[in-house]
Structure 1
Amino acid sequence: MSKNWKIVLVVIVLLIGLRVALPFAVKYYVNKTLSDLEGFTGSVDDVDLHLYRGAYIIHKLNIKQTGDSIPIPFIDIREIDLSVHWKALFNSSIVGEVILNEPIVNFAIAESPEGEGDKKVSQDGSEEDWTKVLDELIPLKINRFEIQGGTVAFKDFTRQPVVDIKLDSLHIRATNLSSVTDSKQELPATLTAKAISLGGGKLNINSRLNIVKVVPDFDIDLKFERVDLTALNNFIKAYTNTDVERGTFSLYAELVAKDGNMKGYVKPIIENLKIIDWDKEEGGFFQKIWESVVGFTAEVLENQPKDRFATRVPIKGNLNQADIKIWPTVWNVFKNAFIQAFKKNVDHSIDFFQDDK
């Protein structure tokens, strides 16, 4: 065998060895990154490389909160696809794309471990800057982000029965986050989200964004409609000591932020609410009395022709200190009850492009 062929053979063997070793090296790097999280520990089962499309796929990522009694992981993702966003290359930009398949995020409350008194511990992820973690896992600016088949859950293990509410079938799609196209527009990116809640409620979010700015600008419309409140009775009873015989809940919101100033509103609506049925209700006499008082109060504050209880919570301030005004909220409860029923929709009264007043 000639010397040149030997060199070619050595190069081929080295390339094959590199290709075989790369997934293990990437897996080690990912696990090392996750092990350095503040207040959390994480790991992945496997990593696959797809060099032909500049991508790697993480299988079964699991992140748990450390040092407390939360019995469920904070994040559990079946698969993460991190790659070059090839469509953006047509705009002379090298940026990234992230797709999360079947992610589960668990917010939770539990009793403190033994020996720590009566304190409760919470799992909400606030200790860590998750954007920094994502930056370490993908070295490119993210231009497209998608979640497929996601779940967001809240569990309170300090209550009996355990409070367990969640959003299922979550699909989020965010595009042009790095302003690759339409970079001169004030809000060049878009984000849409859909999900189904416990009780059959349907969540829809449509928004326009500019996250390239240090303080992002956004214009968000949110609809969360027709939640059957009886499906939430464990949650309602845990925190109000009542339960619901019938009723539906909807929520509408508009939020706008421009140059750090935010304004908007949140409008919750409850319809056809019935708190107690004495013939069917379980529990003692005083429990029934309490539920009757709650039910009577809700009945008084309903808009009687519409059988609708609602308020409109104005929000105004900056992104670091939003101000939810209490007295306008109280006034809107009575305004809805005795003057007019709120419309079941977003008001379209908040617009990013309107002049600030």
Structure 2
Amino acid sequence: MAADITPLIHRVRRWPRRVVITIAVVAVTLLAVRIALPYVVRNQVNHRLQSIPGYTGHVADIGIALWRGAYALEGVEIYKVSGEVRTPFVRARTIDFSVAWRDLFHGKIVSDILVEEGQLTFVAGATEAESQTDVDRRWQEVIEDLFPLEITHLEVNHGLLRYQDTTKTPAVDLFVTNLRLAATGLRNRPSESGEEFPAEIVLEGDSLGGGQLRLAISAEPLAAQPHFHLSAKLENVNLPELNESLKAYANVDVSRGKMELAAEMAGKDGGFQGYVKPFFEEVDFNNVSDENKSVLTRIWENVVQGLAWLVKNKARDQVGTRIPFQGRFGDPQVGLWTTIVNLFRHGFVRAFNPTIEGTVDPDNVLPTGDSADGEGVASEKPETPPKVATDDVKKVEPEAAAPTDQPSKKRTP
């Protein structure tokens, strides 16, 4: 080995001294820059996060990988500072930003983002100071500053999506754990292929009550008004584990029962329409675990149970309906009368199925939320394969590890 490098050493010794010194200075400078770079980047990132109006944030560390054109934010936390909420709005163990080499070879400088154990928490409070729900253009500007290249692929592993409502008694705490998300086509320039929906988002996770959530979205990110098609399916939710939310919203609780839900929605030019189909199976409201219930509460539960029995599909032991909605963003309209009619229809005429119909088309949505064909989402249509059905999309494979700070799916009734 020594014999192999001897000629090289002799050649270096023959170099002019000035050249050797220059090379040494450049090497030392590059080494110093490499050592200092993570600290400089961390200070810049923390300064940008702290400049979000109403919020503050920081990263614990920065990892630089020059060989693959990447850097990673480690220990990311963003808090609301102008209110009383102390739960982080955004938290992530790692956010890795890297150049997508597969596109670089085709002359495109784009990027991938991988988020490990990312968490997003929304809080609905009685006042603005007690709430945490704002996601607007200010956040988009921060993302563009931190990740300046066009993002074409976003992946989230072991995530947590949480919604808390402190205005209710008891307080509502709903969440999706072990969240896996894959998003492609999140471009900030028009798609070269001219596709109507260049962006595809697939989300999967475990809901409160041991259920499984699958959601798929096709969208045009650059549309002036939201232009998208969404479909969602929630299965195998154990209702007793939702008793706190049932008490908060309906003042009832159950001793047994399962829930499923299917939904579809589309939006275009400021209007939207869709439907939600909830199904409750083998529900029993005779929950005797709470001996401190008032007489009025027990009477109300008996009324609810009687109404549920009245509209129940006896063959399936199931209560279900189809709830249509439409309107403009900020001004939704729910078909209440149609929902009631559908309750009886499911019980006595012909049962709905807990499936995604594929009957909502963005091209049929007018800016008012009405349907171009004049029928609307309240009209029954034969079920056809949807544009993006969560039953058919490729699932996001979870990683082997799991976060340790996510809430338990179990809830004490």
Out of 77, 83, 89, which is 2:98 matched to? 83
Aligned to 2:379: none
Unaligned segments of structure 2, at least 5 residues: 1-15, 366-371, 374-413
Higher mean C-alpha displacement, 91-100 vs 161-170: 161-170
> When the two structures are superposed, what TM-score results if normalisation uses the length of structure 1?
0.88
CA deviations 1:169-194 (Å, max 9, x no partner) are 11010112227976222222321111
How big is the shift at 1:131?
2.1
Instruction: Tell me which residue corresponds to 2:204.
Output: 194
C-alpha distance in 2 between matches for 1:311 and 1:157:
29
Contact persistence 2:215–2:231 (CA under 8 A): yes
State the AA in 2 paired with 1:187: F
In structure 2, what is the Cα distance between the partners aligned to 1:184 and 1:128?
Answer: 25
Q: Which moved more, 1:15-24 or 1:249-258?
A: 249-258
1:327-342 matches, cutoff 5 A: 327-342=337-352
| Equivalent-residue separation in structure 2 for 1:124 and 1:233 (angstroms) | 24
What's the counterpart of residue 116 of structure 1?
Answer: none
Structure 1's 128 and 241: CA in aligned 2 closer, same or farther, altered over 3 A? farther
Q: Aligned to 2:309, what secondary structure does the other structure show?
A: helix
% identity of equivalent residues = 33
Q: Pick one of 6, 22, 38 that aligns with 2:37.
A: 22
Q: Indicate if the aligned counterparts of 1:101 and 1:147 stay in contact, CA closer than 8 A.
A: yes
* Cα distance in 1, alignment partners of residues 352 and 183 from structure 2: 31
Q: Is the 8 A contact 2:119 2:161 kept in 1?
A: yes
Q: Once the 2 structures are TM-superposed, how far is the Cα of residue 158 of structure 1 from its aligned partner?
A: 6.0
Which of 174, 186, 195 is 1:185 aligned to?
A: 195
Distance 2:168 2:200 in 1: 39
Cα distance between partner residues in 2 of 1:11 and 1:309: 75
Q: 1:261 to 1:124 in 2, by over 3 A?
A: closer
Where does residue 284 of structure 2 map in the other structure?
Answer: 274
From the superposition, tell whether residues 196 and 140 of structure 1 become closer, same or farther in structure 2 (CA, over 3 Å).
same
Look up the equivalent residue of 1:325 and give its one-letter code: G
Structure 1 residue aligned with 2:405: none
Give the 5 Å matches for 1:131-146. Answer: 131-146=140-155
Equivalent in the alignment of 2:115:
100
TM-score (norm: length of structure 2):
0.77
Q: Which residue pairs with 1:42 in the alignment?
A: 57
CA contact (8 A) 2:311 2:347 kept: yes
Q: Max radius of gyration: which structure?
A: 2
Pick from 214, 217, 227 the counterpart of residue 207 of structure 1.
217
Deviation by residue 1:44-96 (Cα, 9 ceiling, x = unmatched): 10001111111110001111111333232111111100121222224432112
Q: Is the alpha carbon distance of 1:125 and 1:256 closer, same or farther for their aligned partners in structure 2, counting shifts above 3 Å? A: same
Q: Distance in 1 between matches of 2:112 and 2:338?
A: 43
Q: Which runs of 5+ in 1 are unaligned?
A: 113-118
2:189 equivalent to 1:174: no
Greater relative contact order structure (CA < 8 Å, 6+ sep): 2
Q: Are 2:242 and 1:232 aligned? A: yes
Check whether the contact 1:74–1:125 (CA below 8 A) recurs between aligned residues: no
Deviations 1:219-271 (A, max 9, x none): 22211112111011122223332211111111111122345443321212222
Cα 1:312–1:142 change in 2 (3 A) is same
Larger mean CA deviation between 224-233 and 325-334 belongs to 325-334
In the TM superposition, residue 216 of structure 1 has moved relative to its aligned partner by 4.3
Report the aligned-residue RMSD.
Answer: 2.6
Query: In 1, distance between residues paired with 2:245 and 2:223?
Result: 39
2:144 aligned with 1:129: no
Q: What residue is the counterpart of 2:85 in the other structure?
A: 70
8 Å Cα contact 2:97/2:113 also seen in 1:
yes
Number of aligned positions between the proteins? 350
Counterpart-to-counterpart distance in 1, 2:41 and 2:108? 25
**Richer in strand (by share):** 1
Q: 1:277 deviation in Å? A: 4.2
Q: Which moved more, 1:27-36 or 1:61-70?
A: 61-70
- Change beyond 3 A, Cα 1:68–1:200: same
Which letter maps to 2:117?
Answer: E
Instruction: Please state whether the residue corresponding to 1:184 is helix, strand or coil.
Output: coil
| C-alpha distance in structure 2 between counterparts of 1:270 and 1:220, whole Å | 23
Query: What is the distance in 1 between the residues matched to 2:129 and 2:43?
Result: 35
Measured at CA, do residues 205 and 59 of structure 1 come closer, stay the same or move farther in structure 2, by a change above 3 Å?
same
Give, in whole Å, the separation in 2 of the partners of 1:110 and 1:217: 30
